[in-house]
């Protein structure tokens, strides 16, 4: 069985400071893991994905995530937040493509 837990429902940072959005997962298989972003009243856009290659994954807009099997974590980071990063972020685990499980989401607020 798979599950994914996003440890924070809301994160607030100041513009220019680092971002950390936390995600833990469980999976019976070697998982594929993704981070998606959803801006207000928009669809979902893929930020980055891990599919058993390099454990440090770089995505779009300066985001990256590190897969840590020992900690079953896949936290999303960005060195310096921008106002345009304010959005809802979803961590996703997938088993071989047929079933994807979304985390509950983390709302990122960026203060000027």
Partner 1 sequence: DTAVSQTPKYLVTQMGNDKSIKCEQNLGHDTMYWYKQDSKKFLKIMFSYNNKELIINETVPNRFSPKSPDKAHLNLHINSLELGDSAVYFCASSLGTGQGTTEAFFGQGTRLTVV
Q: Which is nearer to partner 1, 43 or 70 (CB)?
A: 43
For 48, residues 6+ apart whose C-beta sits below 8 A from its C-beta are 34, 35, 57, 58, 59, 60, 63, 64, 65, 76
- For residues 45 and 84, which CB has a smaller minimum distance to partner 1 in the complex? 45
Nearer to partner 1, 22 or 107 (CB): 107
Would you mind telling me the total number of residues written for the chain in this entry? 112
Query: Distances in Å between the alpha carbon of 52 and those of 13, 56, 110?
Result: 31, 10, 32
Footprint of partner 1 (CB under 8 A): 32, 34, 36, 38, 42-46, 49, 51, 88, 90, 94-102, 104-105, 107
Q: Which is nearer to partner 1, 10 or 112 (CB)?
A: 10
Q: Is the dihedral of CA 42, 98, 46, 2 positive or negative?
A: positive
Structure tokens at 4: 């994914």
């Amino acid at each position: 069985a798979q599950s994914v837990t996003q440890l924070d429902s809301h994160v607030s940072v100041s513009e220019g400071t680092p971002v950390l959005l936390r995600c833990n997962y469980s999976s019976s298989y070697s998982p594929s893991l993704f981070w998606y972003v959803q801006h207000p009243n928009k669809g979902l856009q893929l930020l980055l994905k891990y599919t058993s290659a390099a454990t440090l994954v770089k995505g779009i807009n300066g985001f990256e995530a590190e897969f840590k099997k020992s900690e079953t974590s896949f936290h999303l980071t960005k060195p310096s937040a921008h106002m345009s990063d304010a959005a809802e972020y979803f961590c996703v685990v997938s088993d071989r493509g047929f079933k994807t499980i979304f985390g509950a989401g983390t709302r990122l607020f960026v203060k000027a």
